[in-house]
Amino acid sequence: MIALHRDHGRYVLVVWGLTANGTMAACQLLQHYDDLYPELLTGKALILRWQDSNENQLVDTEDTLTVVETWINCNSDYLITSYWTVNEQFYSGGKVPVRDANGLLLGFYKDDFVADVQVEGWGRGDGLGNDGRYLGYDPSFGFMKSDSPLDAYGNPLVPWRTVAADPSIPRGTKVYIVDLGPNPNVTDEVADILLESEFLVSDRGPSIRGHHIDVYVGDQTRKEMDESPYALYIEGATVCLSGPTVNSALEGVKNWVCFIGGSGSLRNLSKFDLIVVDPDSYSADEIEWLKSKGGEVVAYVSIGTAENWRWYWSLVRDEWKIAPIENWDGEWYVNVSYSGWRALIIRDVMPRILDKGFNGFFLDNLDVAELYPSMVPEMTEFIAEIRAAYPKALLIGNNGLYIMDEVYFYLDGLTKEDVSATYDWSKAKYVKVPVEESDEMLKILSEWKRKSLTIFTLDYAVTSNLAEYCYNRSREYGLIPYAANIYLDKVFLWP
């Protein structure tokens, strides 16, 4: 671990490791950060993994250092507030009927309670004229009921765990409160909870902007909740943010295959360490068989486009579609700003895939945010939501360099197409990418490799000479290549 700590106006650099080799590995990064590890030393603190690559039981520059987790930001000017779920038992208004957006009666609730639910988002019914469940309100969807209060993404709020934060802070970011400032004005109990807990950004609020976090503390427990010790208003707190820890399952991958235009070919697929296939083309038994051969099996999921041959096509609303994709019949760019599209993928599509036994997801068409830059914040949020929903799944992004600065710590791997060879649609032939352009891209990808991402290249070639050219160029930069035909409907076993 390497951490930069400010103590009474002085900066203190802390370097610590498990065993002497761990400490030496951290010191090696500090010694060579500007020439060997220019992209690793980021944030205010980080946790490293040292791998004795040459197996000489010594720490040297031939070994591999990867970042497990980075504390990307620490600031001492945070405002900490709290919010809670209002409770109808503390209200005194008259009962009024409440209906959902379709006119269905949800129950009878006190009118002053309903008014506060429209402000706070959720409240617990008193069980008189209603079933005592939580009543929620969203300006876009109206009133609704749930067994638990939900965050902005439809997941249960967790007391003293969920926090709302500025939209620029990705969902899934871990939050650590390390100092409560000069005048916190809280009880010892509350101070201990705040300083010892790990919070998670999983909610938003219209007034939560900048260096401000809002801690969810549970249900209202008294009539004047503002007088509760849980009603927080703490200025000048020191808060550190940390990106999610990535999966290390790709560390042993030496080769890979992307086969999404067909089915079968199990024996050929089993020859690869990482296997990307179409989830609709394989059964759970076939996935289990591939995994039994030692491969990591990842499902292809396009999160930037909708395809009319998918089972969920009928659920894709017309307003989500932007434009059809040239040369790919039946596929449309989608506006990821629509929460309904993101919810469809995360809550409906992905669970079915994981139920088949897949290890994770190959997230295609991230570059829709490059074609439509106004969607960059929402695409960033989308990937953060996926990581938060499936923290143990392998996530490999495809063609997302435009937003990679914002999302790389959520991903385990990155794929880039058309690095050394591509398919020229106008000439209907496979051609080399101009060398200068290819060299520049390989350099960019190698820099991302230094940030603990496993980097894959996907080139388009159907002759052994062109495929060998692509493989040699990628391997020269320490990247993992694959080359195939443009429709990815055949498994190629290149040397």
- For residues 483-489, average pLDDT: 97
**What's the confidence (pLDDT) of residue 52?**
84
Statement to judge: residues 372 and 346 lie in one domain: yes
Give tens-digit pLDDT for 320-331: 999 999 999 999
Residue 73, domain member (yes or no): no
Residue type, 104: L
Statement to judge: residues 329 and 264 lie in one domain: yes
Q: Counting beta carbons within 10 angstroms of the beta carbon of residue 326, is it exposed (0 to 12), middle (13 to 18) or buried (19 or more)? A: exposed
Statement to judge: residues 138 and 260 lie in one domain: no
The domain of 235 spans 78-242
Give tens-digit pLDDT for 167-205: 767 777 889 998 999 989 999 999 999 998 989 998 888
In percent, the amount of the chain with pLDDT more than 70 equals: 94
Query: Final residue of a domain: which of 242, 276, 301?
Result: 242
Query: Final residue of a domain: which of 203, 224, 242?
Result: 242
Query: Final residue of a domain: which of 189, 216, 242?
Result: 242
Residue 137, domain member (yes or no): yes
Write down the residue that tokens 């992004």 correspond to.
Answer: 397
Statement to judge: residues 203 and 316 lie in one domain: no
Residue 493, domain member (yes or no): no
**What's the confidence (pLDDT) of residue 9?**
56
- For residues 394-400, average pLDDT: 95
Residue 139 has pLDDT above 70, yes or no: yes
**What's the confidence (pLDDT) of residue 89?**
96
Statement to judge: residues 231 and 280 lie in one domain: no
Q: What is the CATH number of the domain that holds 288?
A: 3.20.20.70
Statement to judge: residues 265 and 386 lie in one domain: yes
Statement to judge: residues 41 and 130 lie in one domain: no
**What's the confidence (pLDDT) of residue 64?**
81
**What's the confidence (pLDDT) of residue 6?**
59
User: Residue 234 in contact with residue 80, Cβ under 8 Å?
Assistant: yes
The tokens for 388 are 């938060």
What's the total number of domains in the chain? 3
Statement to judge: residues 229 and 263 lie in one domain: no
Statement to judge: residues 375 and 416 lie in one domain: yes
Q: Identify the DSSP state of 479.
A: -
Report d(CA 199, CA 123) in Å as an integer.
Answer: 22
Q: Counting beta carbons within 10 angstroms of the beta carbon of residue 281, is it exposed (0 to 12), middle (13 to 18) or buried (19 or more)? A: middle
Residue 136, domain member (yes or no): yes
Residue predicted with more confidence, 37 or 447: 447
Statement to judge: residues 447 and 378 lie in one domain: yes
Residue predicted with more confidence, 51 or 466: 466
Residue 114, domain member (yes or no): yes
Give tens-digit pLDDT for 38-92: 667 766 677 888 888 788 888 988 888 877 766 666 788 999 999 999 999 999 9
Statement to judge: residues 53 and 132 lie in one domain: no
DSSP result, 346-402: IIIIHHHHHHTT--EEEEE-TTHHHHSGGGHHHHHHHHHHHHHH-TTSEEEEES-GG
**What's the confidence (pLDDT) of residue 247?**
52
Q: Counting beta carbons within 10 angstroms of the beta carbon of residue 134, is it exposed (0 to 12), middle (13 to 18) or buried (19 or more)? A: buried
Angle formed by the axes of helices 435-449 and 464-476, nearest 10°: 50
Statement to judge: residues 233 and 268 lie in one domain: no
**What's the confidence (pLDDT) of residue 72?**
60
